[in-house]
């Protein structure tokens, strides 16, 4: 059977079921619900936790042709650092493997490298090792390393009923930019200027993650890389809770409605089922919510309440609108099916 | 200018010169001669050192068509673990990013995964995280993590005049297997059975590295992934020493001579300028040599003396034969030029 018949989750299982995990792994593909989380975690001798994540991008398959080489480099770093942010880990360094096709321009490659370094610096990390290889497409596989401690690690595993569901910024901008680009929709400059930066040069919320983790108010966290719906289901399965999301609370910019309207798309679909917002999806302890939001805002972190944690019922994550509840589908952006 | 005009070292520089290293990096692309070493090293708070290496293989560009899928998976692990062996680091876990083409068979991919896990287990490590992506070729980028301490780290930086140069096993088997395969040379079974395992399923010398490191006899170490000549030059530049290698001491199996003879190749070229032996290239403290070899053999580690460390003179690494000395060229296997 060809891979093209399978979705991303089934393909992941092919690997996961064959990998045996050692005792020093604190969170991994087959350990402590690691499969629902954004990075693996190794327990070091002194109780410190080493958080490790890897992510690959390919120029042909992952990057729109309008992205600058600097943006290609930045994206390769952001996709990895975002997974550290999801776990509340302080970045300590990165390594990269770069697959390089023979026909690429030196100037292009140099700008990719500059974008990588700039992005790493912005996140307080650096690239200290790597490898280059001859490949058919430009492929960048990064690995980001971070540190935290057992009592500071944040995962998707501990959301509790009554906790408040938040995100750290507006949703759907990247997807709206993507659909505009894909459909050759010419955007007015002011609209493009809002959507394209989040589409082409997204930012990992590492600063926000470290602040929130230190406040001790987070019961669960993940990054929104494959659509809000999919991310909610991951946290749901890890924490054995469900969610009610308030439609009117979803932070959606007018520019997203503009694109959705022009392309006759449901703006909610862009938020729920398409990815790459790279905002954090958090649950905050219910009894700490009021003080939490004050503290977070004071420290410059945007916390937008979008719902609440509810009783676990499998495949039952709801969107509430005008006292009616709709089921959010358990699907996300699947690169193998698109 | 196209990349195809450049060699691997120039391409590496494009990246290296753009990467700024942070203070917590103990050895890295731009720090403490990291560029000549096989992995990067981060200093952790408690004085422990985290050794990190990444390496990518592509099915089309790196793997002979006669390799089984299990061998593909094993190779992806070995190339990474071998770099930990070069630094004397105890493996603590690996993550992998896998780029998957749409037309690959599920059964093939499953066997690749099984090979990965089997290899990781054999090296005392495990795959605890990863990512899959849609790409045009099967691409496996692994990152291996290891731990050591400052007084146990072995690098290429500390070879001293009078030290003894050793390798951990026979050289040229992989290159001979490669040339036989590439030239469609039909090998007698007994010869193929010697060469093909090292060509298609090489072993990283992690066990040997950990034993030798603990004996405290190693002044420098690297793995031979790009030909003995190239590896000698890397250690030479890192340690500011030169080498005299005794031709008659090079451990070359008869099967390598057989292939060289059939294909009218110089067997020395296979050893010096072609890669993937994955044996360790070590220098042992000169004053500890006699006891070292006894201890190593007692612990089951093969240490084969091939030369000595000499006064530094740039580009002056010599092969001695019958009291005549020839210069070993400063070239290695360059995938971008082959």
Residue A337 in contact with residue A192, Cβ under 8 Å?
Answer: no
Residue B233 in contact with residue B317, Cβ under 8 Å?
Answer: yes
pLDDT at position A338, please?
65
Q: Whose CA is closest to B335, among B39, B56, B117?
A: B56
Q: Is the pTM of this model over 0.90?
A: yes
pLDDT at position B315, please?
81
How far apart CA B154 and CA B86 sit, in angstroms, is: 7
Q: Would an 8 Å CB–CB cutoff place A331 in contact with chain B?
A: no
How far apart CA A65 and CA A327 sit, in angstroms, is: 36
Confidence of residue A337 (pLDDT cuts 50, 70, 90): confident
pLDDT at position B331, please?
84
Render pLDDT for B4-19 as a digit per residue (tens, 0 to 9). 889 999 999 999 999 9
| ipTM, two decimals | 0.96
Taking an 8 Å cut-off on Cβ atoms, the answer to whether B44 and A44 are in contact is yes
> Packing angle between helix A189-200 and helix A254-262, nearest 10 degrees?
100
pLDDT at position B338, please?
66
What residues of chain B, 11 to 70, have a C-beta less than 8 Å from chain A? 11-12, 14-15, 18-22, 24-25, 28-29, 31, 34, 39-40, 42, 44-46, 48, 50, 52-58, 60-62
Could you give the 3-state DSSP secondary structure of residue B159? coil
Residue of A nearest to B47 (CA): A46
How far apart CA B63 and CA B69 sit, in angstroms, is: 10
pLDDT at position B238, please?
97
Residue B139 in contact with residue B96, Cβ under 8 Å?
Answer: no
Taking an 8 Å cut-off on Cβ atoms, the answer to whether B2 and A105 are in contact is yes
B253 Cα to chain A: minimum distance (Å): 30
Q: Which CATH number fits domain A3-149: 3.40.50.150, 3.10.105.10, 3.30.1330.10, 3.40.50.20?
A: 3.30.1330.10
| Parts of chain B belonging to CATH 3.30.1330.10 | 3-149
| Parts of chain A belonging to CATH 3.90.650.10 | 164-327
Mutation to test the A interface, candidates B95, B109, B110, most A Cβ within 10 Å: B95
Taking an 8 Å cut-off on Cβ atoms, the answer to whether B126 and A58 are in contact is no
Taking an 8 Å cut-off on Cβ atoms, the answer to whether A22 and B128 are in contact is yes
pLDDT at position A275, please?
80
CATH number of the domain located at residue range(s) A164-327 in this protein: 3.90.650.10
pLDDT at position B196, please?
97
Nearest to A25 among B19, B44, B126 (CB): B126
Q: Would an 8 Å CB–CB cutoff place A245 in contact with chain B?
A: no
Mutation to test the B interface, candidates A56, A57, A83, A225, most B Cβ within 10 Å: A56
Q: Is the pLDDT of residue A301 over 70?
A: yes
Calculate ∠ Cα A262-A268-A273, nearest 5°. Answer: 110
Q: Is the pLDDT of residue A46 over 80?
A: no
What residues of chain B, 171 to 230, have a C-beta less than 8 Å from chain A? none
What lies within 8 Å, CB to CB, of A113 at 6+ separation is A73, B14, B15, B18, B19
How far apart CA B114 and CA B110 sit, in angstroms, is: 6
How far apart CA B23 and CA A124 sit, in angstroms, is: 11
Element (H, E) at B313: none
Could you give the 3-state DSSP secondary structure of residue B337? coil
Taking an 8 Å cut-off on Cβ atoms, the answer to whether A129 and B101 are in contact is no
Taking an 8 Å cut-off on Cβ atoms, the answer to whether B139 and A56 are in contact is yes
Tokens matching residue B65: 């068509």
Q: Would an 8 Å CB–CB cutoff place A126 in contact with chain B?
A: yes
Render pLDDT for A52-90 as a digit per residue (tens, 0 to 9). 999 999 999 889 999 999 999 999 999 999 999 999 999
pLDDT at position A139, please?
97
pLDDT at position A4, please?
86
Tokens matching residue A238: 């890890």
How confident is the model over A96-117, as a mean pLDDT? 96
Tokens matching residue B274: 């072609």
Taking an 8 Å cut-off on Cβ atoms, the answer to whether A102 and B3 are in contact is yes
| pLDDT-flagged residues of chain B (< 50) | none
Taking an 8 Å cut-off on Cβ atoms, the answer to whether B147 and A44 are in contact is yes
B63 Cα to chain A: minimum distance (Å): 12
How far apart CA B255 and CA B190 sit, in angstroms, is: 9
Nearest to B126 among A21, A92, A97 (CB): A21
Residue B284 has phi, psi (to 5 degrees) of: -110, 135
pLDDT at position A47, please?
80
List beta partners, residue A320: A246, A325
């Amino acid at each position: 059977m060809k891979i093209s018949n399978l979705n991303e989750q089934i393909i992941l299982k092919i690997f996961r079921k064959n990998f045996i995990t050692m005792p020093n792994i604190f969170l991994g593909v087959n350990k402590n619900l690691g499969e629902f989380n954004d990075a693996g975690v190794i327990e070091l001798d002194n109780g410190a936790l080493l958080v490790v994540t890897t992510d690959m991008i390919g120029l042909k398959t992952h990057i729109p042709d309008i992205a600058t080489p600097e943006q290609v480099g930045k994206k390769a770093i952001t996709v990895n650092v975002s997974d550290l942010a999801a776990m509340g880990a302080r970045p300590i360094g990165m390594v990269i493997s770069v697959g390089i096709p023979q026909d690429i321009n030196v100037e292009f490659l140099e700008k990719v490298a500059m974008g990588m370094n700039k992005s790493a610096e912005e996140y307080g990390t650096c690239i200290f090792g790597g490898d280059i290889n001859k490949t058919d497409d430009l492929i960048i596989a990064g690995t980001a390393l971070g540190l935290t401690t057992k009592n500071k690690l944040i995962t998707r595993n501990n959301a509790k009923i009554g906790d408040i569901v938040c995100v750290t910024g507006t949703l759907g901008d990247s997807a709206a930019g993507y659909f505009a680009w894909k459909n050759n929709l010419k955007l007015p400059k002011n609209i493009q200027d809002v959507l394209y930066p989040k589409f082409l040069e997204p930012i990992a919320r590492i600063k926000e993650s470290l602040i929130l983790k230190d406040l001790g108010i987070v019961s669960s966290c993940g990054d929104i890389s494959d659509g809000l719906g999919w991310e909610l289901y991951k946290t749901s399965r890890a924490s054995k809770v469900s969610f009610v999301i308030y439609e009117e609370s979803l932070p959606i910019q007018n520019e997203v409605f503009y694109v959705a309207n022009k392309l006759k798309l449901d703006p909610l679909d862009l938020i729920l089922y398409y990815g790459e917002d790279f905002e954090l999806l958090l649950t905050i302890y219910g009894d700490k919510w009021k003080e939490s939001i004050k503290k977070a805002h004071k420290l410059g972190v945007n916390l937008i309440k979008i719902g609440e944690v509810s009783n676990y019922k499998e495949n039952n994550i709801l969107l509430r609108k005008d006292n009616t509840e709709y089921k959010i589908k358990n699907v996300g952006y699947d690169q193998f099916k698109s």
